[in-house]
Structure formats: structure tokens, C-alpha cells
């Protein structure tokens, strides 16, 4: 009789075929193939990129001149290869002893052991070393804890592309940043092996695919798209084991719609290959089984990292609330729902207060703002309270003559049309809007124990458009003319608005908000090129400047052509208006970001059965994927029947309950 620990074996059973591993290494292609073979697997190694020197590199020379003149306080080095390439350029013009001595006098920061090793080769011991694996946010947190950044002059060694999140985070904390490119990445000289590897994946001749950089991901996807194989590749990748070297690469994979099955315990190529050799077979068997989708555990959402966890009690007590779980792309017991303008004119509770008080008075008197905020949550049973306020409140202390005309909306008496107009606007401290913080504290005391509170602000483009146009506009002609004809004044205005908005949102967080939303109501008036040049850097600065641990919802209207750029600007949740298909929009954005939306507000005037049908269709498009927050595609309209709004909330809770 066999021992329980010695199961019967069929000695005639054929040996299992070796695991076939696809890798996209370039500089270490030969070493990668050898390591795969040593682990008993079959290598399919296809370089997906190559490094190209920047050439003359005036930016590197400019960096050296500032460094030698004592005009740089912090230098950040992101890669070992980048450190060596930078000094290869500088050594042609400056004595190495001089540049090394200048670096020793300032704070030097390295991300991981490779740039640390490269600096030590030239006799420089880094001041600050961040461990691996890490992302830009972790590096930012380590640096911010180590020294004051406000007013600091920071140089960042780039590696292939601009690290927008890092530079925006530094600028949000008051640093001035210069970027120092040293090389760029491009496609391999011979794309044949890469094309062959993609076909091997698509034809089922691979068991595992491993990635060691985000740029590999980009080039692999671009090559597949160019061959007309993009969709087939994504489908095929769902049937193999996907390995990633670490969190930066994993974030990029998920942004491309590719789930990550494993990361190594240590971010080393050898550990990644060993993990693939050990785990690929069981992962592939599960994925390719008839019930593969059910037998596999749904991939966990990327959690907020420990240094981003807020310590305030009002945030921690909502950690497992469906609203916060959705922001983190984690499974919740139902799809959370809240509605823009949920405390508005359609509600009798609001109208009773409004009958006795002007709109601005309701915003600036905390007890009135708190009253209508709480009434909406209690009446509708929504999953979040959004503080009653207005996106244009920051314009009041700017002394531009903001007022609200009955039936005509907000108006600005003294618009900003040129540099002189901007100069007369006084500097504004966030304390001028302290009444918003007090209203949040009052709401927190009333319902904060069970309901998360959303703070919000207008995005800088939307605020700027009101300041320049003098009110709402259809064409935004004055706004665009300032952008095009006087970009310096435009960027100074946007920078002032961005810096104030960071302080304003963080003040709301300190008062009790667990989430913040950035409203870019009018940014859909721009094309992608203008958004990238005139808006994206300022919006990115705001989002990077929000206190760590607080989810950010980034919302705009008529933004179907801007979604990828909004994603690049940042946000844990991207708000979708009703003009886009939620399923297609989410696929474009990537599943490593949550989405919010997107019922047409007019649908709430339909019969309840139709409302339920439309809500069900949106939930189907979300496909029960973790990270969906139900909302309208814009705010509730004034004449909307309250019972229809309640019916929508009930329907979403009922139909999405697990």
C-alpha cells in the first residue's frame, strides 16, 4: 500500500515539455537566454529596444555649467547606464575631478543600487538611496522626508523619456526642475526577431512572457499594432503567464490592458526568470482550462503603498468602504454611486434653504453648505457626500469682480486678458476659503462615521477660461488667443491657479475629505496638442501635489479625444461623460486606473424602467471589473424628479450586489 505522501505515478507518462519563455532584453539578450536555459526552459529572446545617445546634448552641458556655478541643490540619478552616459558627455568638456567635486557639495539621490554603483565608480557616495523596487512616488516620498524641497533647484537625469510624475511632484512641492536627457530608446535595428516572438505568442508557442522595463511594453505593443496584430496579441497574452520585473513595469503593463501574474521577490532578471520557470506551467494550465477565467483569482489591484497611507482617523475608518475600495480598484460588495450636483435645485430640501439665502451665501456659510450636503446623502442613500460649494469660489479673493446673475450664470467684471491684468490680481492665501474647510468638518461630524466626503476644486484651465472670457463661452476665443499669442502669461496664470488649487484641496483633506475631485468642465474645448502643451503640466502638478493616500478623481466633459492625455496627467479615477462608451473608454485608459460614470443626466427624466435598463447597460460595460464608480456624465439637472434619482441609486446597488 502506498504511503499518503507517495502518490501513485504512471511511469509511462511522457515528461512534461519544457516551459517556453519569451523575453525582450536587448543589452543582456545573451545572458537572458543563458539564464532561461539554466532553469530548464526554452528561451525566445527578442530585443524590443535599443539605446541611442542624445549626441551633442546641450542640456547635459547646461546642467554641468549650473552645477559648477553652485546653482543646483539636488541631483537625482535614475539609472546606472544614465550616470555613465552623462559623464561620458561631460568628460569631453570639463575635468571629471571638477564635476565630481561639485556633486559632492550637493544632495545626490539615486534610485536603486545601479546608479549608486555608477556614482561610486567616480568617487561619489550618494546622499540618499531609495531601495528597489520603487516608483517615482516612493522616491518622491523618501526625498521629501529627507529634506525641504521648497525653493530647491533640482536636476533629474532622464532615461529615455521624461518622468512626468516625478518632475510634477517636485514642482508641486516648490522645487524648480531641470531635466538632463542622456540617451533615448528606440526600436531595435533588426525588428525581425521581435516580430517572430510576437507571432510565437499569438500562435500559442509560448508559455511565459517576461518584461523588464516599461519601454519594452511600449515597443512590443507598438510593433504589434503596426503589424495589425494588436488585438490578437492582447488576447494571446491572456493565455500565458505574464511576469514583470517590478512595480514601474507592472503599472505600464496594466495601463496597456495586460494583467500581471507575478513579480519576483527581488527585482533582478535572474529572480524573474526563476519565478517564470517555477510558476508558468500552473498559471498557464489554469488560464487555458475550460473554466480558466473562474479558476484564476482576479488579479489584485495595485494597492496604495505604505508611505502613501494616511494616518488621519477620518481616512482610515473608510478604508474598506466600497467607495474607497473602488478608487483603489479593489473588489467591493457592490458598485458605489454618488452624483454630481446631488445637493442641488431639484431637491425640495435645497430649495427651502435657497428661498431664504443667495447662492454665494449658501457656499460661504458653513452651516448652510453642510445642511444641504447632508440632506442629499440622507435622502438619496448615496455612497459619498460631496461638499456643497462652487468651482469658482477661488476667484472671489482674486478681486476680479465675480458675481452670479440670475439665470445668467457666473460673470467676471474684470477679466484677465494680458500680462498687466494678471499683475493686478493679488496673491491669494487658501485661508480666504476657510469656510469650505469648516463646512467639511461639520459634515464630517454629522455623517462622517459612515460616509466618505469628497472635496473638490476647478481645474486650472476651467478657472482660467472663466477669468479670461469673463463668463461661460462657446468658442473660448479669448482664452485660446492668450494661450497662442502670450504663452508666458498663460503659463504664469496657470501656475498660480495650480499652486493655489494644491493648497485648497489639501486644506479640504485636512478638514475631513477622504477623496478629492478635480473638475475640468471646459477642457473639452481643446484639441490634444493644445491640451498637451498648455494644460497637462499644470494639471499633473496639482494631482502630484495632493497629500499622499488621498484618491484623486479627474473629471472633464467632452473629453473623448483627450482621455489618454488626462490619464497621463494623473488621477486614481478618470471621470467619463455620457458621450463615450464606458467599456471602450476604459480599455483605452488601461485597467490600472478606475473610472467614474457615465449615465446621461437627461436619462433621469425617463420612466423608471428605462432608467434601470440604462443603468444596467452601463454596469454591463463595466463588466464587474473592480474600479467602477457609478455617476452621471455631468451634474443632475434642476427639474429632475427626486424619486427617479432614488430609483437610480437603488437600481445600481441592487444590480451590482455580489
CA distances, 493 to each of 199, 413, 416, 464, 468 (Å): 51, 18, 9, 7, 10
- 8 A C-beta contact, residue 215 and residue 281: no
What 3-state DSSP class applies to 403? strand
| Residue among 84, 73, 79, 91 nearest 155 (CA) | 73
The phi and psi torsions of 364 (rounded to 5 degrees) equal -95, -10
The SS3 of residue 594 is: strand
The number of beta carbons lying within 10 Å of the beta carbon of residue 638 is: 12
SS3 334: coil
Cβ atoms 563, 588 nearer than 8 A: yes
SS3 18: coil
In whole angstroms, what is the distance from residue 155 CA to residue 142 CA?
16
The answer to whether 77 and 117 have CB atoms below 8 angstroms apart is no
Phi first, then psi, for residue 427 (nearest 5°) are -65, 140
| φ, ψ for residue 429, nearest 5 deg | -100, 145
Sheet holding 42-45, edge to edge: 42-45, 20-23, 208-211, 241-244
Neighbours of 28 (CB within 10 A): 15
Q: Kindly write down the DSSP assignment for every residue of 111-132, as one continuous string.
A: ESHHHHHHHHHTT---SEEEPS
Q: Which has the closest alpha carbon to 615: 563, 570, 651? A: 651
Q: How far is CA 441 from the centre of its chain?
A: 28
Decide if 346 contacts 380 (C-beta within 8 A).
no
What distance in Å separates the CA atoms of residue 220 and residue 195, rounded to the nearest whole number? 9
Which residues are marked as active site?
341, 345, 354, 390, 466
Amino acid at each position: 500500500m502506498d504511503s499518503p505522501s507517495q502518490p501513485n505515478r504512471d511511469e509511462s507518462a511522457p515528461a512534461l515539455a519544457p516551459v517556453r519563455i519569451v523575453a525582450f532584453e536587448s543589452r543582456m539578450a545573451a545572458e537572458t537566454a543563458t539564464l532561461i536555459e539554466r532553469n530548464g526552459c526554452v528561451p525566445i529572446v527578442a530585443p524590443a529596444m535599443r539605446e541611442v545617445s542624445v549626441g551633442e546634448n546641450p542640456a547635459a552641458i547646461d546642467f554641468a555649467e549650473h552645477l559648477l556655478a553652485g546653482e543646483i541643490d539636488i541631483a537625482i540619478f535614475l539609472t546606472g547606464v544614465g550616470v555613465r552616459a552623462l559623464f561620458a558627455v561631460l568628460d569631453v568638456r570639463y575635468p571629471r575631478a571638477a564635476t565630481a567635486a561639485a556633486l559632492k557639495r550637493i544632495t545626490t539621490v539615486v534610485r536603486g543600487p545601479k546608479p549608486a554603483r555608477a556614482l561610486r565608480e567616480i568617487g561619489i557616495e550618494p546622499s540618499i538611496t531609495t531601495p528597489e523596487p520603487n516608483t517615482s512616488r516612493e522616491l518622491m516620498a523618501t526625498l521629501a522626508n529627507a529634506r525641504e524641497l521648497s525653493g530647491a533647484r533640482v536636476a533629474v537625469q532622464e532615461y529615455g523619456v521624461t518622468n512626468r510624475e516625478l518632475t510634477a511632484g517636485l514642482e508641486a512641492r516648490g522645487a524648480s526642475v531641470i531635466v538632463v536627457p542622456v540617451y533615448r530608446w528606440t526600436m531595435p535595428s533588426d525588428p525581425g526577431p521581435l516580430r517572430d516572438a510576437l507571432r510565437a505568442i499569438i500562435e500559442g508557442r509560448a508559455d511565459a512572457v517576461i518584461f523588464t522595463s516599461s519601454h519594452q511594453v511600449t515597443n512590443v505593443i507598438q510593433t504589434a499594432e503596426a503589424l495589425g496584430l494588436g488585438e490578437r496579441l492582447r488576447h494571446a497574452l491572456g493565455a500565458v503567464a505574464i511576469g514583470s520585473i517590478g512595480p514601474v513595469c507592472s503599472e505600464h503593463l496594466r495601463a496597456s490592458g495586460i494583467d500581471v501574474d507575478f513579480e519576483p521577490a527581488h527585482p533582478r532578471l535572474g529572480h524573474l526568470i526563476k519565478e517564470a520557470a517555477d510558476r508558468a506551467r500552473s498559471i498557464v494550465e489554469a488560464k487555458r482550462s475550460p473554466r480558466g477565467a473562474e479558476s484564476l483569482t482576479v488579479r489584485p489591484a495595485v494597492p496604495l503603498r505604505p508611505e502613501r497611507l494616511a494616518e488621519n482617523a477620518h481616512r482610515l475608518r473608510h478604508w474598506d468602504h466600497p467607495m474607497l475600495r473602488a478608487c483603489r480598484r479593489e473588489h467591493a460588495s457592490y458598485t458605489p454611486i454618488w452624483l454630481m450636483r446631488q445637493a442641488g435645485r431639484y431637491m425640495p430640501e435645497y430649495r427651502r434653504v435657497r428661498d431664504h439665502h443667495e447662492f454665494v451665501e449658501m457656499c460661504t456659510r458653513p452651516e448652510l453648505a453642510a445642511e444641504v450636503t447632508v440632506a442629499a446623502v440622507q435622502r438619496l442613500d448615496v455612497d459619498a457626500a460631496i461638499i456643497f460649494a462652487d468651482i469658482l469660489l477661488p476667484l472671489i479673493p482674486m478681486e476680479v469682480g465675480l458675481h452670479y446673475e440670475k439665470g445668467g450664470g457666473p460673470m467676471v467684471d474684470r477679466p484677465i486678458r494680458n500680462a498687466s491684468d494678471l499683475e493686478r490680481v493679488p496673491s491669494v492665501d487658501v485661508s480666504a476659503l476657510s469656510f469650505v474647510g469648516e463646512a467639511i468638518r461639520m459634515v464630517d461630524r454629522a455623517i462622517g462615521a459612515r460616509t466618505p466626503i469628497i472635496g473638490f476644486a476647478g481645474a486650472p484651465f476651467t478657472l482660467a477660461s472663466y477669468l479670461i472670457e469673463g463668463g461661460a463661452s462657446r468658442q473660448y476665443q479669448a482664452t485660446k488667443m492668450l494661450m497662442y499669442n502670450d504663452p508666458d502669461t498663460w503659463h504664469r496664470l496657470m501656475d498660480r491657479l495650480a499652486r493655489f488649487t494644491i493648497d485648497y484641496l489639501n486644506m479640504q483633506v485636512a478638514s475631513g475629505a477622504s477623496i478629492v475631485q478635480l473638475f475640468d468642465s471646459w477642457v473639452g474645448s481643446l484639441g490634444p496638442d493644445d491640451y498637451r502643451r498648455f494644460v497637462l503640466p499644470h494639471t499633473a502638478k496639482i494631482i502630484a501635489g495632493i497629500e499622499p493616500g488621498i484618491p484623486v478623481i479627474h473629471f472633464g466633459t467632452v473629453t473623448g479625444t483627450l482621455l489618454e492625455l488626462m490619464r497621463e496627467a494623473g488621477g486614481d479615477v478618470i471621470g467619463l461623460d455620457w458621450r463615450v462608451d464606458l467599456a471602450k473608454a476604459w480599455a483605452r485608459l488601461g485597467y490600472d486606473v478606475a473610472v467614474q460614470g457615465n449615465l446621461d443626466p437627461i436619462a433621469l427624466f425617463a420612466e423608471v424602467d428605462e432608467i434601470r435598463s440604462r443603468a444596467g447597460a452601463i454596469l454591463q460595460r463595466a463588466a464587474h471589473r473592480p474600479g467602477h464608480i457609478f455617476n452621471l456624465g455631468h451634474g443632475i439637472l434642476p427639474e429632475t424628479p427626486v424619486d427617479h434619482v432614488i430609483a437610480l441609486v437603488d437600481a445600481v446597488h441592487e444590480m451590482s450586489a455580489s
